[in-house]
């Protein structure tokens, strides 16, 4: 949820709507579980300008239960900012329940 605008599948949000991080919640009822939230733009134009690539906008790991404010920020929130004239972009938010220590995963993919 961005301010009072729901970020649902297919919803159009302007860059102005997304200046601040969205309010994110989930219904998984396990306060002992930890989660990782990832937000990406799969429609970013690559540096060569000829192909599409993903762009990471936000990553928070070790989120206890449903309290995102208590998670560890890996990539600070960056609002949407598509290239002028590039058309609409999709923004995908993924929430993963962590199965084990994320330090191991981050070391593998850093």
Spell out the domains of the chain, with CATH numbers in brackets: 26-76+89-109 (3.90.280.10)
> Which tens digits make up the pLDDT trace of 32-47?
789 999 999 888 776 6
Whether the pTM exceeds 0.85: the reply is no
pLDDT digits (tens, 9 = 90+) for 74-93: 999 988 776 666 677 888 88
Distances (CA, A) of 11 to 8, 47, 54, 62, 105: 5, 27, 20, 28, 32
Q: Among 36, 26, 11, 6, which Cα is nearest to 90's? A: 11
Q: Are 62 and 96 in contact (CB under 8 A)?
A: no
Q: Would you state the pLDDT for residue 72?
A: 95
pLDDT in tens, 61-73: 999 988 889 999 9
Confidence of residue 17 (pLDDT cuts 50, 70, 90): confident
Residue 58 has a pLDDT of 93
pLDDT confidence bin for 105, thresholds 50/70/90: low
> For residue 55, what are the β-bridge partners?
41
């Amino acid at each position: 949820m961005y301010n009072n605008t729901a970020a649902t599948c297919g919803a159009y949000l302007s860059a102005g709507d997304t200046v601040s991080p969205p309010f994110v919640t989930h219904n998984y009822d396990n306060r002992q579980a930890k989660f990782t939230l990832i937000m990406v733009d799969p429609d970013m134009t690559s540096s060569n300008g000829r192909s599409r690539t993903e762009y990471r906008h936000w990553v928070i790991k070790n989120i206890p239960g449903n309290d995102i404010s208590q998670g560890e920020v890996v990539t600070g929130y960056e609002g949407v900012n598509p290239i002028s004239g590039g058309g609409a972009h999709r923004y995908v938010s993924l929430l993963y329940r962590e199965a084990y220590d994320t330090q191991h995963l981050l070391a593998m993919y850093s």
